[in-house]
Amino acid sequence: MSNRNIFVRPENSFWYARGKLIRFIILLATLCSISFLYFSQKPWELDNKSHELYSLSDHLIRGLWYGFASSTFIGILLIFSWKKWAKTDHNKDLTLSHNPQIENIHSSVFWVLLALIVLLGGHLRWNLVTGGLGWEEINSIRTTSHENSPEDWEKTLWMYQEQNKCIPLAAAIKISQSIWQTKTEPDAYEIHELSLRSPNFIMSISSILVIGLLVKRWGFSIGALGSALFLAMHPWHIKNGTALGTEGIIIFLVLLGSLWLTYAINDNKDRWRYWLLFGTNQLMFAWTIHEGIFYAIGFTLCGILLILSQNINFSFRSTSISKLVAANAMACMVYFPLFMPNIMQTFHWEPIENPHSSILPNLGNSIGHLFFGMDISQSGSESPSVANELGQSPIICSLILLTTFFSLSFGIIRTWINRKGAAKILITIVILGLVS
């Protein structure tokens, strides 16, 4: 006779219900966090005088302990509330209908054209990737030399003395430099432009591919190719997407997050893979830049709004929202130990003046870079700007401005009529871009 308790149904058992792999990973991560809290050095065991002086090791001890404490708390909450977020709706495929393609191109033709557009984008960026470093890039390398040396991983991940530092990019550059270093003499350390810019270059051309996949998933095959071509040839993305900086990374994460959110909400099989990928993207948002947490919050609110607007019953909407919240909570379990030592260091930062003291000019120039790759106006400067170009070639520039305006309006209206969910994601992206 089986020893299994016949009064406990499998779907109500933490050990037997569907999706137990995720629950076991959370349980194991929580137990590891508790073990770290017990065996590691405690913050209150440090010298009190160390609060007044900067010490990376002390910040690391405090940050890791508080970070794992936060992860433990979140893990316990997830374990005790597992029935809320791990519930599976077996009849969900009966309530979500597959959205038909609005624009249809033969699959082979689409993939060939998209591949050619990606290659075009790589070709347009290649000279910048292999060219000399700009003064901002040189200054960044000088102030963060540990990122370009094969050692000092502790400083790369957790030395956070300036707000502009992008830790994932620093780690990727270090790995790229280490790979490049294996091809040179061991004693002669050399900085190579391609090895420094290769992480940004890869994400830049990947953004072209992702935007094509995203718009195609929304049902616009022709629009997908047009969007990919627009991004591949956009002067701002060509320049800033390949330079050492966070702009290209944020664009890649925004597009990738939109793709995973679209797949997760419209998944008829109710799988966890897309929610976990979305949670990973949320983690990368918060880890990449200091303000990334606001991007993650914006995407979470957008996801909740999309789920609530679905034509399904309350039970299905509640389950989807619970999975969205759980995916963010799992991301936080990883985020806090990774970033808490950096948060501790922000209390030692010197106060700086607000660089956005003039809001309207910055907002206008941001819009100009978004559509045309240049500022709206540059008073007293001969640098390229919309105002200067309009003065030199009024007819051509007026046609470009009108075409841009009507194309944008037509795209938004058509997307809203055919795919209201996709339109809401686009509105969220625009709001996040303008606010940031």
Least confident segment among 69-73, 224-228, 283-287, 361-365: 361-365
- Between 11 and 159, name the one with better pLDDT: 159
The pLDDT-based confidence of 361 (bands split at 50, 70, 90) is low
Q: Are 204 and 121 in contact (CB under 8 A)?
A: yes
* Averaged pLDDT for residues 102-127: 90
Q: Measuring CA to CA, which residue among 272, 257, 260 is closest to residue 322?
A: 272
The pLDDT-based confidence of 362 (bands split at 50, 70, 90) is low
Write down the pLDDT at residue 193.
78
pLDDT at residue 66 greater than cutoff 90: yes
Residue 242 backbone dihedrals phi, psi, to 5 degrees: -105, -15
Average model confidence (pLDDT) across the chain: 79
- Between 153 and 51, name the one with better pLDDT: 153
* Averaged pLDDT for residues 12-24: 75
Residues 6 or more apart whose CB falls under 8 angstroms from that of 205 comprise 118, 121, 122, 125
- Condensed to tens digits (0 to 9), the pLDDT of residues 243-290 reads 888 888 999 999 999 999 999 988 877 788 999 999 999 999 999 988
Q: How far apart are CA 341 and CA 40, in angstroms?
A: 15
Residues 6 or more apart whose CB falls under 8 angstroms from that of 134 comprise 243
First vs last Cα of the chain: how many Å apart? 63
- Between 77 and 139, name the one with better pLDDT: 77
Alpha-helix residue ranges (DSSP H) falling in 104-166: 107-130, 135-143, 153-158
pLDDT at residue 355 greater than cutoff 50: no
Residue 55 backbone dihedrals phi, psi, to 5 degrees: -145, 115
* Averaged pLDDT for residues 3-31: 73
3-class SS at 198? helix
